[in-house]
Structure 1
Amino acid sequence: MDTSFAHVTELAKTKYHRKSDRYINYGTAGFRTKAADLTHIMFRMGLLAVLRSKYKKATIGVMITASHNPVEDNGIKLVDPMGEMLAANWEHYASELANVTDSEVKTVLNKIIQEATIDMSEKSNIFLARDNRPSSVTLASAFLEGVSCFKSHFHDFGEMTTPMLHYVVRCENTQKRYGKPTEDGYYEKLGEAFLKLRGSKPSCPGLYKPRLILDAANGVGAEKVCLLKHHLNDALDIEVLNDGSDGILNHECGADFVKTRQKLPTGLPLKVGDRYVSFDGDADRIVYFYIDKNSKFHLLDGDKIACLVAKYLKDLLNTCELDLKLGNVLTAYSNGSAKEYISKTLGVDVACTPTGVKHLHHKATEYDIGIYFEANGHGTVIFSGHAEDVILNTAGNTELPIEKRVAAQKLCTLVDLINQAVGDSISDMLLIETILHSLGWDVEKWSNIYQDRPYSLCQVKVKDKSIFKTTFDEQRLIEPKELQDAIDELVAKYTEGRSFVRASGTEDIVRVYTEAKSLDEVKQLSFAVCEKVYDIGHGVGDRPVRSA
C-alpha cells in the first residue's frame, strides 16, 4: 500500500496537479464547474470512490455529468449502494480531498481511512458512466487512473443517463433482485412493466393519443429513448428531436430551459393538439408542455407531475382499500395551488423540505408510498418494503373481489416501472403516459386539474448572505427576525399572498419567491419584499429587478 500511496503522490503532483486555488464544494449535485478545472478532482474522486466502496463493502457508482449546465461545464458525483446520493459526512471528505494541495492528498487519504476505520484489504468495485459531453471521455480517464492506483475492480458503462447509472448500482448491490445491472436490463424491466399496464389489447381511451414529441436537450437521453422504443412494441410513438445530431447540449432546449424561461425549446415543430416533453442533458428531469388553440404555451412542471401521480396512486389505493400512508413531498418553490390540490382535493399528506433532491428523497422514505418532485421536474416514487409486501399479498389473494386484485396488480407493476433510486426522465415519462392512458386524458385535461397562482422569482444582491437564516423547510426566516416580521406584514395585505426568501448556496444573493391572486399583486408584493431584503442586507449594485 505504501507503493500505491507513493504513486498517488507522484500523480497528484505531476499529471493531475491542482491548477487553481479556487475552492470547489461537493453539493447535492456533486462537483460541477468548467470542465477544464476538473481534471485533478476527477483523479482524486477515483481514489475516494475506492475508499467508499471498501467502507461500504459494496459497489459504488460514479457519474460524470453536469446535467442541465452548458456544454463547457462538467461534473462528478458518487452514488451509494442503493442508488442514493452520497452520505453527507462523505460529502465533507470529498470537498476536503478535492481542495487540499497536491502534497497533502496522501495525508487526507490516511485521515479518511483512519476516521472511517476502512479495511484496505477489503475488495472494491466501481461502476462508472458519463454523459455525452466532449470533455467526459478525458475526465473519465483521469478518474479511472485514480481508481487504478488502488488496484480496484471497475466497470465502465460508457455513455448512460444518470438514472441508469443509479439503477445498475442498485441492481448490483441487491444481488440483482431489483433487476439486471445492465443497460439492456433497464430497458427490459421498464418495457415489460409499461406493456403490462397498457394491457394485451392496447387502445386509445377517451382523449388520450399514444403519440409524444420529445425534446431530448441534445443529451444522452436521445439515444437511450431510441433504444427503449424497441421494447415498447409500438404502444407509444415517440418522436425524438434535439437529439444531438445538429444542436448544442442544453442550448435553448431541455427541461431546465423550458422551466426557467417559461418558453418553447428551439428545434421543435409546434402543432396544436400535440403533446411535448423535455428532458435535461443527463435525463433526470422532465417537464411536459403544449400549445392551445390560441397558440398559448402551457407548462406542466414537477408540481403538475406530482399531482397527477398522487391522484393515480390514491385512486388505486382506494380501490384496494389498503391502509398504507401515501405522502407527497414538495419544496417551498412548489406552487400554492399544487399543494392545495394534493392536500384538499386528493386528501394526500403534503410535506415540505429544503431545496435539494437528497432532502426530498429522505423525507419520502418516511411514508409507505412517498412521492417527491421538485418544481424543476426531478422526482420519483418510493415504496417501502412493507408497502410492497402488502400490495403483493393483496394482488395474490384470490378471496378478494377482482377489482381489488386488479388494482393491487397494477400497483405491483408500477413498482417495476418506477426507478425508485432517483428521478428518471425515461421512467417518469412512461409512468405519466401510463396514467394519462388509464384516465383517458389528454395533456390539456391534465393541465386543467388546477390553475397555478401567479408567481415571481427574483434575486437581490446583499453584502453577506450568511445573515439570512431560514427554518428547515426554508419557508420562513429565523434571522433577521425584523425582515420576517416585515414580510408577514406585507403578505397580509394581499389576497392569497405568499412570499419567502432564502440565500443562495454559492453567491451573496438572496432569492425572493412571491405568490398572489393576480399578476399585478405579485409584482407589487415582490417589489416590496425585495426592497426590504435590499435595505436590511445593505445590498450593492443596482436595485433588484425580476430575474425569472
Structure 2
Amino acid sequence: MARQYFGTDGIRGLANGKKLTPELALKVGMATGIAFQRGDYRHRVVIGKDTRRSGYMIETALTAGFTAVGMDVFLLGPMPTPAVAMLTQSLRADLGVMISASHNPFDDNGIKLFRPDGYKLSDEVEAQIEELMNTDLTPRLQQGRGIGRAYRDEEARTRYIEYAKRTLPKRTDLSGLRVVLDCANGAAYKVAPTALWELGAELFTIGVEPDGFNINHKVGSTAPEAVAAKVRELRADVGIALDGDADRVIIVDENGTVVDGDQFMAVIAASWLARGQLQGGGIVATIMSNLGLERYLTTLGLGLERTQVGDRYVLEAMRAKGFNVGGEQSGHIILSDFTTTGDGLVAALQLLSVVKETGGSVSEICSRFQPVPQLLQSVRYGQGKPLENKKVVEVIEAARARLGAAGRLVIRESGTEPVIRVMGEADDKNLVASIVEDITSVIRQVA
C-alpha cells in the first residue's frame, strides 16, 4: 500500500506546499508522540534542525504536537542529522526528530524521525504513524499537568563536538594540515569548524554564514566547485564539503579534484582492514556504486554487498549481515562503530586520520581504483509515471540488450523529488553515453 506522507527518508516537500504544512507537522508530533509513549514515565523527544527559514515554523508546530500529548521537548537548534541521532541515545530520549531537506533547495524542508537507539524508523512504524495521523487524536490529548514542556538544550553542541573528536584513533591530531571546510550554510556551520580547529587543523571555512535562504546555494557537497576553487587558491591539503544536514561529505584533494564516495569507502575499507577493524568481510554500497570499487575490493579479498538506493537500506544490510562500513557514491558514509546514520564530519575525520598516519597526499590516498566509465543523468517530470510508458519501456529494453553482460543499467525514481535517474556503466564509454542519451531523450518526451 502506498504511503501518504513518508518517502524514502522521512517526510519531505515544499514548505507550505501541498504536503509539508504546520498542520501536518502538528499531526506528526501528536501521532508520533502517542506511538512512542511506552511506560509510566515522563517521555522526552529531541528536535534538531538545519538553517532553513521554514525550520522555525515546523519546529514550533512539532513542539505543539509533542507537548499536547504529554512529551517533553528538548530543542537543539541547528544541528547535524547524525548529531540528533547520537543525542537521542545520549539523552535517553524516546524519539529524535531532524527538521531538514538535506541537500534540497532552501524552500523545501522535511521531517526525519529516529528511534530511541538512534536508528531511523522502519517502514512498518511509519505506516503506523500515518494511520494515527488520519484518525481523530483529540481524545488522546493531555490536559493540565499532563501537558509537556519545551527546553532549549544549550550543551548539545558541545556534546556532539566531543563525540566526533573521540572517533579518531588515539593520539591523532590534525596539526600541519591545511583544511578548507564548506558547511553548505547548513546545520554543521558551528560544530564542524569547532571540531576541526580543536583538533589542530589550520582551518579555512566557507558556507558558514546561513541566512535562512542560502543553504546548499552554490556551496556544499552538491556544489563542490566552491571548495575546490578555495583549495586551489589557498594551496590547501584537502577540502571537505558537507551537505545541508551534514550527513554526507565530499572530499576534494590538494589539486582541487573531487573524490566521490566510492573512492572514500575504498580508503576506509583498506585502512580498517589493515587495522583489523573491518567487519563482515567487505562493505555495503548501493546499486549506484562504481564497478571499479567492486573490482578493487576483490583484490583485497573483500566483498561488496549492494542494496537499493538510500542510506537506510545500506544500514539495514549492514546490521543484518555484520558489516561496519557502508555508504553511497553521493557521500553518505556510515561507520556503524561510531554512528547509526551517515555522518559527514566523522567520515571526514577518518580520512584525515589516514592522511596523518601515512603522510601521503589526499590525491595519492584517494586513488584506489580506476573507475569504470559511468554516466548519470536526471530527468524531472511533472506528474504520472513515465517509467510505465510504453515508449520508455521499449527504449530501456533495447538498451539492456545492447549492454548485455558488458555493463550495468540502473533506472529509478528518486524517493525525495519528482526526478528519474538514469545510470549507465560499462568499459565502453561511448556505448554508455549513447544508451543513457537514448533513454533520457524518450523520458523527456513523455514527461
Q: Tell me which residue corresponds to 1:435.
A: 354
1:227 partner SS: helix
Deviation string 1:84-136 (CA, Å, 9 cap, x unpaired) is xxxxxxxxxxxxxxxxxxxxxxxxxxxxxxxxxxxxx6642111112122221
Matches within 5 A, 1:282-293: 282-290=245-253, 292=255
Q: Tell me which residue corresponds to 1:338.
A: 293
**Alignment partner of 1:373 out of 327, 339, 351:** 327
**Alignment partner of 1:212 out of 179, 198, 215:** 179
Question: Does the Cα contact within 8 Å between 1:501 and 1:512 map onto a contact in 2?
Answer: yes
Q: Distance in 2 between matches of 1:443 and 1:253?
A: 21
Q: Distance in 1 between matches of 2:352 and 2:417?
A: 39
Q: Distance in 1 between matches of 2:33 and 2:325?
A: 32
Give unpaired runs (5+ residues) of structure 1: 1-22, 58-120, 383-414, 469-478, 542-548
The structure with the larger Rg is 1
Question: Does the Cα contact within 8 Å between 1:301 and 1:377 map onto a contact in 2?
Answer: yes
Q: Which amino acid aligns with 2:446?
A: V
Q: How much does 1:193 deviate?
A: 4.4
Q: Which amino acid aligns with 1:333?
A: M
Q: Tell me which residue corresponds to 1:53.
A: 36
2:412 partner SS: strand
Corresponding position: 1:185 with 2:159: yes
Change (3 A) 1:227 1:506: closer
Deviation string 1:342-401 (CA, Å, 9 cap, x unpaired) is 2x122212111111111100001134342111111112122xxxxxxxxxxxxxxxxxxx
Change (3 A) 1:264 1:185: closer
Q: Which amino acid aligns with 2:161?
A: Y
Q: Which amino acid aligns with 1:371?
A: V
Aligned-residue sequence identity (percent) comes to 21
**Alignment partner of 2:190 out of 217, 220, 223:** 223
Greater relative CO, 1 or 2 (CA 8 Å, sep 6+): 2
Q: Which amino acid aligns with 1:270?
A: R
1:142 partner SS: helix
**Alignment partner of 1:314 out of 259, 273, 295:** 273
The Cα RMSD (Å) is 3.5
Corresponding position: 1:303 with 2:262: yes
Q: Distance in 2 between matches of 1:446 and 1:151?
A: 52
**Alignment partner of 2:9 out of 26, 29, 34:** 29
Q: Distance in 2 between matches of 1:367 and 1:439?
A: 31
Q: Tell me which residue corresponds to 1:329.
A: 284
2:70 partner SS: coil
**Alignment partner of 1:278 out of 241, 244, 247:** 241
Matches within 5 A, 1:147-296: 147-173=66-92, 182-194=156-168, 196-198=170-172, 210-229=177-196, 231-232=198-199, 234=200, 236-244=201-209, 248-258=214-224, 263-264=225-226, 268=230, 270-271=232-233, 272=235, 274-290=237-253, 292=255
Q: How much does 1:299 deviate?
A: 1.4
Q: Tell me which residue corresponds to 1:499.
A: 409
Corresponding position: 1:464 with 2:431: no
Corresponding position: 1:520 with 2:441: no
Q: Which amino acid aligns with 1:452?
A: P
Change (3 A) 1:174 1:442: farther
Deviation string 1:452-474 (CA, Å, 9 cap, x unpaired) is 22221234669634649xxxxxx
Q: Distance in 2 between matches of 1:203 and 1:34?
A: 40
Q: Distance in 1 between matches of 2:330 and 2:281?
A: 22
Question: Does the Cα contact within 8 Å between 1:464 and 1:508 map onto a contact in 2?
Answer: no
Deviation string 1:503-538 (CA, Å, 9 cap, x unpaired) is 44477764321123354332223234556xx3xx89
Q: Tell me which residue corresponds to 1:540.
A: 446
Q: How much does 1:265 deviate?
A: 5.0
Q: Tell me which residue corresponds to 2:301.
A: 347
Q: Distance in 1 between matches of 2:51 and 2:384?
A: 39
Give unpaired runs (5+ residues) of structure 2: 95-115, 119-154
Deviation string 1:36-77 (CA, Å, 9 cap, x unpaired) is 34211111111023113214x5xxxxxxxxxxxxxxxxxxxx
1:457 partner SS: strand
Give the ranges of 4+ consecutive aligned residues of structure 1 lying more than 6 Å apart after TM superposition: 174-178
**TM-score normalised by length of structure 2:** 0.75
1:29 partner SS: coil
Question: Does the Cα contact within 8 Å between 2:43 and 2:93 map onto a contact in 1?
Answer: no
Q: Distance in 1 between matches of 2:237 and 2:281?
A: 32
Question: Does the Cα contact within 8 Å between 1:490 and 1:528 map onto a contact in 2?
Answer: no
2:230 partner SS: coil
Matches within 5 A, 1:125-164: 125-164=44-83
Question: Does the Cα contact within 8 Å between 1:465 and 1:504 map onto a contact in 2?
Answer: no
Change (3 A) 1:141 1:267: farther
Q: Which amino acid aligns with 1:432?
A: L
**Alignment partner of 1:43 out of 26, 29, 43:** 26
Matched length: 380
Change (3 A) 1:290 1:190: closer
Change (3 A) 1:163 1:484: same
Question: Does the Cα contact within 8 Å between 2:179 and 2:203 map onto a contact in 1?
Answer: yes
Q: How much does 1:244 deviate?
A: 1.2
Question: Does the Cα contact within 8 Å between 2:46 and 2:93 map onto a contact in 1?
Answer: no
2:314 partner SS: helix
Q: Distance in 2 between matches of 1:441 and 1:372?
A: 24
Matches within 5 A, 1:404-419: 415=337, 418=338
Q: Distance in 1 between matches of 2:306 and 2:44?
A: 36
Change (3 A) 1:485 1:437: same
Q: Which amino acid aligns with 1:42?
A: A
Q: Distance in 2 between matches of 1:26 and 1:177?
A: 20
1:252 partner SS: coil
